[in-house]
Each structure stands twice: as structure tokens, then as C-alpha cells.
A and B are shown apart, each in its own frame.
Chain A
Amino acid sequence: DVKVTQSSRYLVKRTGEKVFLECVQDMDHENMFWYRQDPGLGLRLIYFSYDVKMKEKGDIPEGYSVSREKKERFSLILESASTNQTSMYLCASTLGTGLQETQYFGPGTRLLVL
């Protein structure tokens, strides 16, 4: 089974802090994704990556950056956390880029910015 892990389940940070969220997948998947999940808004794509050192902006990249130095690891960085970034963050991966690909999700990180 594919396993996607995220570094923290819960995180509390202060406004202005730099925040790192880490995601690791163990099945040699090519593609990795970062979403945020907010009630009533579903999932919104922040960034995705098709390969090591490659990144593409999603729908809401503002205030975020990402890093993919190794195939199995995809990091989401909040350069200066703000209260409107309080949310659930979900990492996902897919084996390939086909339209029929199933996404495999991590358990999520619930971030609270005070």
C-alpha cells in the first residue's frame, strides 16, 4: 500500500513565523501535491510537483512556497505565517500524470496561526 506521511498532525504557530510542513511518500510516485482544506470550500490546490526540483502553482499559491529536493519528499513553506493561513493542509501523491490517476493522501496537518 502507498503510504503518505506528514510531519505533524497539529501545529500552532505565531503570526510572522516561518512554517515548514513536510510530506513523504514511500512508493516512488512522480507527482506530489499540497492542498488546503477549509469548510465549505473543499480542497484547493496550492502547489504541485511533477519531478524533483520542478514545481507548478495551483489555484492559491500566494503566501506559500514549496521545495522538492528528493523524489519522495515535498515541503510546503509558509514564509511569514498569517492568521488566514489557519487551515487543514493535505499532501497527496500520484504515480503518473494520467487523467485517471488516483491521488493518495496523507493524514493532514491542522495548522493554527495565532
Chain B
Amino acid sequence: AQSVAQPEDQVNVAEGNPLTVKCTYSVSGNPYLFWYVQYPNRGLQFLLKYITGDNLVKGSYGFEAEFNKSQTSFHLKKPSALVSDSALYFCAVRDFMDSNYQLIWGAGTKLIIKP
């Protein structure tokens, strides 16, 4: 069965330090992977996606994510965190082999950046 795991409920990082938000997935075919962000009192916004090609994907607000097929991971990273990055982050996956168009969502990781 398809699934997405975000193993950390919360990640705390000091401003200016690098940040990583972890995501692992399980699909039967090739994955399409997404990261979305939810700022306080706002809807979800698309950050970036991996479809094919270069394993390192760059997205909005200086974020990037690396697709690692052997580890079935798609961790979100940023070299230098800002307080304004504090938000709820969701990883999601679609299976290329699955005719169902549904996204499978992780539970979310709360990122807190401390000044």
C-alpha cells in the first residue's frame, strides 16, 4: 500500500542554521513527490515537486529537496533558516503506476525557527 511517513512531529532550528524536514515514502511504482507548506491561519501552498530528472529539486523561498530512490526519501532542506519559515510542512506522493489520482499525504511536521 502507498504511504508517506514524516517521522518528526516537530523540528526546532535556530535562525541561520540549516534545516531538514524528513519524508520517506512507500509506493509500488515510480513516485511523484511533493512538498507543501501551511503558514499559520492560511491554506496550503505548493513548495516543490519531483517528477523525474535531477534528484535535487529547487523550490520556493529557498527550499530544496533531494530524491533518494535507494532510501525512498525526499527530505526538505534549506541552508539557512528564517523565523518566517516557521510553519507546518506536508510531504505527499503519487504512484506513477496507480491509476488513482489521489495524493497520499504525510501527517505533517511543525517547523519552529527560533531567533
Known contacts: A99-B96, A100-B51. The answer to whether A42 contacts B43 by CB under 8 A is: no
Q: Are B108 and A42 in contact (CB under 8 A)?
A: yes
List residues of chain B with CB within 8 A of the CB of A107: 41-43
Q: Which of A4, A31, A40, A48 contacts B43 (CB 8 A)?
A: A4
- Are B105 and A97 touching (Cβ within 8 A)? no
Please, how many angstroms separate the alpha-carbon atoms of A102 and B49 in the complex? Answer: 8
Q: Are B32 and A105 in contact (CB under 8 A)?
A: no
A105 to B105 CA separation, bound complex (whole angstroms): 14
List of B residues within 8 angstroms of A41 by Cβ:
107
Q: Is B102 an interface residue (CB 8 A)?
A: yes
Find the B residue at minimum CB distance from A107: B43
Nearest-neighbour CB distance to chain A for B92, whole angstroms, equals 8
Q: Is B57 positioned at the interface, with any CB of A under 8 Å from its CB? A: no
A99 CA to B92 CA in the complex, in Å? 12
Min C-beta distance of A35 to chain B, whole Å? 8
Closest chain A CB from B57 CB (angstroms):
12
Cα–Cα, bound, A90→B49 (Å): 20
A-B contact count (CB 8 A): 54
Contact call A105/B44, Cβ cutoff below 8 A: yes
Q: Is the CB of A108 within 8 A of B43?
A: yes
A42 neighbours in B (Cβ, 8 Å): 4, 90, 105-108
Taken together as a complex, chains A and B put the C-alpha atoms of A104 and B46 apart, in Å, by 7
Residues of B within 8 A of A44 (CB): 105
With A and B bound together, what is the CA distance between A3 and B22 in angstroms? 30
In the bound assembly, the distance between CA atoms of A103 and B32 in angstroms comes to 13
Decide yes or no whether A27 CB sits under 8 A from chain B.
Answer: no
Interface residues of A in 56-114 (CB under 8 A from B): 58-59, 90, 92, 97, 99-100, 102-108
B103/A103 in contact, CB under 8 A: yes
Chain B 77-115: CB-based contact to A (< 8 A → 1; otherwise 0): 000000000000010101010000111011110000000
